[in-house]
Structure 1
Amino acid sequence: MKYLFFILFTILLISCKEDYTIKPLGQVRLEYPEPKYESLKTDCSFTFEQSNQSQIQEKNKPCWFVLNYPKMKANIYITYFPVNSKEDLVNKIKDSEKFVQEQTTKASYIAPQEFVFEEERVYGTLFELGGDSAINLQFHATDSTNNFISGSVYFSTEPKYDSLQPAIQYLKRDVVRLIETLRWK
């Protein structure tokens, strides 16, 4: 009996030995719901489609908006300016591009994407900024004669590009949709 107990105890000790393996570091997989888009209804001289994941907040100036994404802690700031002359338009475009260039101290790259929709008279540029810059997406669009809007994407968190990448790409899709559906009244 003593031997049987000793053998069972030894087998129990040997069988409880686990084989440990190093596991790779895991990353949180951020998944966002598929957006549905609806037309923005305002008295402004433009309209566009916005995601149902965003909540519109009006600013203190006419036709200035914030599209707030509460689940992502992100905002798209949209500003509108009437265009008074060709020179005025050139200055507004230069100011928008200067704002992007000022981010180069933190941005590791700037990738522009141009949009031209002749039929709708929509001409614009979307800038994607890589790295830990304060803004990750900046855009402007115009009809080249009377209207100009610009926008920036900000997150209410410390800029960590790798961690924010899924949210940036999600919002980029919404910004592209905004530009593609932009219509002047």
Structure 2
Amino acid sequence: MKLHKLFSFLIILALASCSGEQLPKPKAMLRLEYPEALRKSFKTSKYQFQQNTLALVTEGSNSSVTLDYPLMDGSIFITYKEVNKNLPELLRDAQKLSYEHVVKADNITEQPFINGSNRVYGMYYEVEGDAASQAQFYVTDSISHFITGSLYFKVKPNYDSIYPAAVYLQKDIRSIMESLEWTD
């Protein structure tokens, strides 16, 4: 008889615990917030620009620069080349580099850049999707100087996960382009 009461109690308990509709948890969005960018001047022998103070700057050979962002696990690589009757080749290489990401990218948006007062002309590429680089750019004065830049993260590209950091660093790239001046 005790077994019968115990079995009846377990069935009632099981039925009573199933009240209400069970719904799966909604997907959550990761909310990453980064501090407002504070800028300071950075200068090489060929050019200068306003850099984010969160970035750790490493100068390479031939006025090349790496801006590391430890908080976001990302870097902006800037490469300088002199124009020596090879501007069409430099432009072709920069455009080709940007479109090598088309295999993994969902979309690549081109945004021309012109700052006539500082003689800085170029193109900004915003890359959406699981591509290796989320942004690329090049700028030139069309006579002597040519710069390319790329944004890379030190993690496997997952656009949803890196999106907040990518947006933040894309703003930094635009700021670099807007503040860039040639030093000669």
Q: For residue 70 of structure 2, what is the aligned residue in structure 1?
A: 70
Identify the residue that residue 50 of structure 1 maps to in structure 2: 51
SS of alignment partner, residue 38 of structure 1: strand
TM-score normalised by L of structure 1: 0.85
Whole-Å Cα distance in 1 between the matches of residues 70 and 42 of structure 2? 18
Q: Report % sequence identity.
A: 39
Aligned length: 167
Gaps of at least 5 residues in structure 1 are 1-12
Measure how far apart 1:121 and its partner are: 0.5
Task: Report the Cα offset of residue 117 of structure 1.
Answer: 0.9
Aligned to 2:176: 178
Letter in 2 for 1:53: L
Report SS of the residue matched to 1:149.
strand
Q: Compute the displacement of 1:103 (Å).
A: 1.3
Q: Residues 21-80 of structure 1: CA distance to partner in whole angstroms, max 9, x if unpaired?
A: 6442222200000010111033x2110010011010122x22011000001000000000
**What letter corresponds to residue 68 of structure 2 in structure 1?**
N
Partner residue of 1:7?
none
- Cα deviation, residue 170, structure 1: 0.4
Aligned partner of 1:112 in structure 2 is 110
Cα distance in structure 1, aligned partners of 2:27 and 2:129: 22
The one-character-per-residue Cα deviations of 1:67-105 (angstroms, maximum 9, x if unpaired) are 0000100000000001112xx011101100001121111
Q: Which moved more, 1:154-163 or 1:100-109?
A: 100-109
Compute the TM-score of the two structures, normalised by the length of structure 2: 0.85
Q: Aligned letter for 1:41?
A: K
Q: Which amino acid aligns with 1:93?
A: L
CA distance in 2, matches of 1:46, 1:160: 33
Structure-2 residue corresponding to 1:6: none
Q: Distance in 1 between matches of 2:76 and 2:106?
A: 21
CA distance in 2, matches of 1:62, 1:124: 20
Unmatched 5+ stretches in structure 2? 1-12
Structure 2 match to 1:4: none
Which runs of 4 or more aligned residues in structure 1 lie more than 4 Å from their structure 2 counterparts after TM superposition? Answer: 17-22
